[in-house]
């Protein structure tokens, strides 16, 4: 039993159905992942046309609440009290941003100098 030992291995032949059965779940998972990312990016670009980037970021921060609701409803795990404070701040941020009225999307502000040059 030295450093360079030779080992013999036996190879077994796998049927084509077992190879397909072995590769199908990871391939389906990869397909699902690719489709969900494509859907997210298309949805995010559409959302950015309708609302602003700040609104998108605030909405993505509130997605943690859905994960917490899943934990409470399905797994029976209660989040710590810091989660509720963070969730309240996220909701307050969304409310403040939506009711402020500043930075409205779709309003084109043109430079006054450009308007004078065109006249």
The reply to whether 71 and 89 lie within a common domain is: yes
**Domain membership flag for residue 37:** yes
**Domain count for the chain:** 2
The reply to whether 29 and 45 lie within a common domain is: yes
**Domain membership flag for residue 75:** yes
- pLDDT score of 119: 57
Q: Which residue is it, tokens 């989040």?
A: 79
The reply to whether 74 and 90 lie within a common domain is: yes
Q: 78: closest CA among 88, 87, 86, 68?
A: 68
- Alpha helices for the chain (secondary structure H): 16-50, 53-61, 63-70, 81-100, 112-118
- pLDDT score of 32: 97
**Domain membership flag for residue 12:** no
The reply to whether 91 and 72 lie within a common domain is: yes
pLDDT digit string, tens, across residues 38-86: 999 999 999 888 888 877 887 787 788 888 888 889 999 888 889 889 8
Could you tell me the CA-to-CA distances from 7 to 1, 2, 11, 13, 14 in Å, in that order? 11, 12, 13, 19, 22
Going by pLDDT thresholds of 50, 70 and 90, the confidence category of residue 113 is low
The reply to whether 57 and 95 lie within a common domain is: yes
Q: Which residue range(s) make up the domain with 81?
A: 52-100
The reply to whether 88 and 61 lie within a common domain is: yes
**Domain membership flag for residue 27:** yes
């Amino acid at each position: 039993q030295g450093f360079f030992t030779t080992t013999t291995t036996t190879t077994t032949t796998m049927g084509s159905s077992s190879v397909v059965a072995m590769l199908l779940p990871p391939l389906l998972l990869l397909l699902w992942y690719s489709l969900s990312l494509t859907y997210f990016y298309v949805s995010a670009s559409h959302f950015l046309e309708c609302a602003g980037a700040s609104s998108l970021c605030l909405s993505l921060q509130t997605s943690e609440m859905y994960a917490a609701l899943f934990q409470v409803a399905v797994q029976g795990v209660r989040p710590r009290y810091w989660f509720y404070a963070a969730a309240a701040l996220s909701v307050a941020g969304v409310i403040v941003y939506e009711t402020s009225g500043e930075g409205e999307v779709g309003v084109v502000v043109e430079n006054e100098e450009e308007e004078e040059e065109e006249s």
